[in-house]
């Protein structure tokens, strides 16, 4: 499986993602955003970082890069696309995912480990993982997901919430929410299910040396995915 | 073409919480000031050329729509003056 890993000015997780992808048997390739062509790839990753210094809003300037049009095209064709941390912010800014990510409610940058409950297996990154509780690291100052009430009701009803912050036993408590995110939402999908974003870093917990391997399961779900390039498979 | 200066003020929508504003309100209160509420935002000043003022206004609004503000969480106001 060929996976494109996008690099913008200020991206910092691309080599970690490429490494983690190679651990699960994928063939990663890092692509420069300005001339990114996603044709010929089976999936794409928008990694974390601080693209364009987070100027204006996190992800706002990356969202008008030529790569944004390419991501839109590939997403419409059903390509599995995963955005982590700043990549999640970029996908929201592009409009491929609903809502927006704003300053953490307590205003603190959080660098920590969190627990996440997998809420939906209707995506190539969570297939057969529903109900599992994963432990992953976070490192962000703007990870509080917000949306208007209608959007929130819609994503919950459609099963678009993929990851929710919980405690180690899977209870979504206020204490287990590291940034004040609405309904403890840590990550979600588009309506079709092929585009997924999450604030935590799966690539940073892909081998024992890093203190955890749960992130690998998200990438393994992708490489095991049988639905590559078939958008209708995800549509409800 | 005439030179114009557009001031685009971006602020969080009324229903969106502004934790930065809340922190500033707390800080002002700690200085002994009687503050009811604080909302923060940003001001972006752009110099550019346009055929006339209404075209300049339209261009500045387009800047707000397409990049400077995120309509999910923010609103913006535009002010245009000759440079």
% residues pLDDT > 90 (chain A): 95
Tell me whether residues B72 and A147 touch, CB distance under 8 A. yes
- Residue A203 annotated to the active site: yes
pTM of the model: 0.94
Residue of A33, A115, A140, A201 with catalytic role:
A201
Interchain CB contacts (distance < 8 Å): A and B? 34
Q: Read off the pLDDT of residues A181-190 as tens digits, 9 standing for 90 and up.
A: 999 999 999 9
* Residue in B20, B68, B72 closest to A103 by CB: B20
**Chain A contact for B37, CB < 8 A?**
no
**Chain A contact for B73, CB < 8 A?**
yes
The residues facing A7 across adjacent strands are: A32
Whole-angstrom distance, CA of residue A83 vs CA of residue A81 = 7
| Mean pLDDT, residues A143-172 | 97
| Mean pLDDT, residues A197-219 | 97
Whole-angstrom distance, CA of residue A80 vs CA of residue A74 = 8
**Predicted local confidence at residue A12, as pLDDT:** 96
CA A211 to the chain's CA centroid: 20
Of A229 and A62, the structure prediction assigns the larger pLDDT to A62
| Mean pLDDT, residues A200-213 | 97
Whole-angstrom distance, CA of residue A34 vs CA of residue A6 = 10
**Chain B contact for A69, CB < 8 A?**
no
Helix (H), strand (E), coil (C) string for chain B: CEEEEEEEEEEECCCCCCHHHHHHHHHHHHCCCCCCCCCCCEEEEEEEEECCHHHHHHHHHHHHHHHHCCCCCEEEEEEEEEC
Tell me whether residues B19 and A106 touch, CB distance under 8 A. yes
The residues facing B42 across adjacent strands are: B10
Q: Read off the pLDDT of residues B24-46 as tens digits, 9 standing for 90 and up.
A: 999 999 999 999 999 999 999 99
**DSSP assignment string, chain A:** -EEEEEE-TTB-SHHHHHHHHHHTT-EEEEEEGGG---TT-SEEEE--B-GGGG-SSTTTTGGGSHHHHHHHHHHHTT--EEEETHHHHHHHHHTSSSSEEE--TT---EEEEEEEEE----STTTTT-TT-EEEEEEEES--EEE--HHHHHHHHHTT-EEEEEE-TTS---GGG-SS--GGGEEEEE-SSSSEEEESS-GGGGSBGGGTB-HHHHHHHHHHH-S-TT-GGGG--
- Which of the residues A61, A65, A102 would you substitute to probe the B interface, choosing the one with the greatest number of B C-beta atoms within 10 Å? A102
- Scanning A173-212 for CB atoms below 8 A from B yields 180
Q: Read off the pLDDT of residues A45-55 as tens digits, 9 standing for 90 and up.
A: 999 999 999 99
* Residue in B23, B67, B73 closest to A107 by CB: B23
**Predicted local confidence at residue A225, as pLDDT:** 81
Tell me whether residues B20 and A93 touch, CB distance under 8 A. no
- Which of the residues A57, A68, A92, A96 would you substitute to probe the B interface, choosing the one with the greatest number of B C-beta atoms within 10 Å? A57
């Amino acid at each position: 499986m060929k996976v494109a890993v996008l690099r913008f000015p200020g991206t910092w997780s691309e080599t970690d993602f490429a490494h983690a992808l190679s651990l699960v048997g994928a063939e990663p390739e890092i692509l420069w955003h300005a001339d990114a062509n996603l044709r010929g790839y089976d999936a794409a990753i928008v990694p974390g970082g601080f693209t364009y210094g987070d100027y204006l809003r996190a992800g706002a300037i990356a969202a008008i890069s030529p790569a944004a049009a390419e991501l839109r095209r590939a997403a419409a064709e059903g390509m599995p696309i995963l955005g982590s941390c700043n990549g999640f912010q970029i996908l929201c800014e592009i409009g491929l995912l609903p809502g927006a990510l704003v300053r953490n409610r307590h205003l603190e940058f959080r660098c920590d480990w969190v627990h996440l409950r997998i809420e939906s297996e209707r995506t190539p990154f969570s297939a057969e993982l529903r109900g599992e509780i994963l432990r992953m690291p976070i490192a962000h100052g703007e990870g509080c997901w917000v949306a208007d009430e209608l959007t929130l009701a819609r994503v919950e009803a459609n099963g678009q919430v993929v990851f929710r912050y919980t405690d180690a036993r899977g209870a979504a408590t206020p204490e287990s929410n590291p940034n004040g995110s609405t309904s403890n939402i840590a990550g979600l999908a588009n309506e079709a299910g092929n585009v997924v974003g999450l604030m935590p870093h799966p690539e940073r917990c892909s081998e024992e040396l890093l203190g955890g391997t749960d992130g690998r399961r998200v990438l393994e779900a992708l490489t095991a995915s049988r639905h590559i390039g078939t958008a209708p498979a995800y549509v409800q | 073409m005439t030179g114009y200066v557009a001031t685009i003020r971006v602020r969080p929508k009324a229903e969106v919480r502004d934790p930065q504003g809340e922190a500033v309100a707390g800080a002002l209160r700690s200085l002994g000031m009687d503050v009811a509420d604080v909302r923060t935002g940003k001001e972006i000043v752009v110099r550019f050329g346009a055929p006339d003022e209404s075209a300049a206004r339209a261009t500045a609004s387009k800047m707000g729509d397409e990049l400077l503000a995120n309509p999910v969480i923010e609103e913006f106001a535009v002010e245009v003056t000759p440079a």
